[in-house]
Amino acid sequence: MKRIVLLRHGESEWNKENRFTGWTDVDLTEKGVEEASKAGKILKEKGFAFQKAYTSYLKRAVKTMNCVLDELNEDWIPIEKSWRLNEKHYGTLQGLNKSETAARYGDEQVLQWRRSFDIAPEALTEDDPRNPAKDIRYKEVPDNELPRTESLKDTIDRIMPYWKCIIFPNLKTADDILVVAHGNSLRGIIKHLKNISDKDIVNFNLPTAIPYVFEFDDDLNLTKDYFLGDPEEIKKLMEAVANQGKKK
C-alpha cells in the first residue's frame, strides 16, 4: 500500500478576516499554527512516515508543512517547493472581504468566482504591484506562465504537469508522500484523482489542516480515500468553508 496525504494549510490571517487571498503571501494565525500541529499529531498517531514532501511558495503552506513535520520528527526529509502548487489566483478580488463582496455582487456571483470551474475574476493589470511578475520568487518562471487571474480550470492546468511528472511518479519509490498546499490547488488534484465532474467540483469544500488520505495499490491504482478526524466535525468545517462567500 502507498499513500499520498493532501493537506490544506492552517488558518491564515486572511482566512480569519474572510478575505480572498490567492497568491498574496499572508501568514498563519495562532489558530492556524495549532491546526497544523494537530494535523501532525494525528498523522503520527496513525503511523505515517513520509519519505518526501511538497508545498507551494506561499508561507502559509510552508509553515504548515514545517509544523507537521516537526510533530512527526521528520524535519530532515526532502522537501520540494513549487509555484505550481500555489493557490488559485483571484485577480483583483485579492484582499477583498468575501461577505462584503457578496453583499455587493450577490451570493451567486461570488460562488462563481470562488468555486466555478471555468470563470475567472477580473485580472490584475500589468502595473499592479500584486502582479506576480514583479515578485522575486517567480523570477525564474516565464512571464507567460504567471497568472494575473485564474479559474479553477486554469489552476488545474498549472498543477497537473507537476502532479503527473513529479509528485505522483515518486510513489514508485516512496510509500508515504505529503502535499501541503491550498484549497483550490488541492481541489484540482482531488478532482483529477476522484474523477469529479466540472459541475460537481463546485460543491466540494476543503477545510483547513484536515489530512485527506489517498491510498494506492502497488500498481498506483487508487483504492481508498478518507479524511483523518471526526466525521461530524469535518462536515461542519466543510459547511463553514462553503458559507464564507455568502453575504451576512
HSE at residue 183, side-chain half, CA atoms within 13 A, is: 25
What the block records as the C-alpha cell of 103 is 453583499
Q: Is 13 exposed, middle or buried (0-12, 13-18, 19+ CB in 10 A)?
A: middle
Residue 43 has which C-alpha cell?
Answer: 498523522
Cross-strand bridge partners of residue 212: 6, 227
Report which residue type is found at 51. Q
Q: Which amino acid is at 241?
A: V
Query: Would residue 9 show up in a list of annotated catalytic residues for this protein?
Result: yes
d(CA 67, CA 202): 30
Residue 47 Rama label (left phi>0; alpha psi -120 to 50; beta):
left
- 37-41 contacts at long range (C-beta below 8 A, 24 or more positions apart): 37/67, 37/68, 37/70, 37/71, 38/209, 39/7, 39/10, 39/64, 39/67, 39/68, 39/71, 39/209, 39/210, 39/211, 39/228, 40/67, 40/68, 40/69, 40/70, 40/71, 40/72, 41/71
Active site residue 126: no
Nearest residue to 109 via CA among 248, 245, 243: 245
Pick the catalytic residue: 87, 89, 150, 182? Answer: 87
Q: What are the catalytic residues?
A: 9, 87
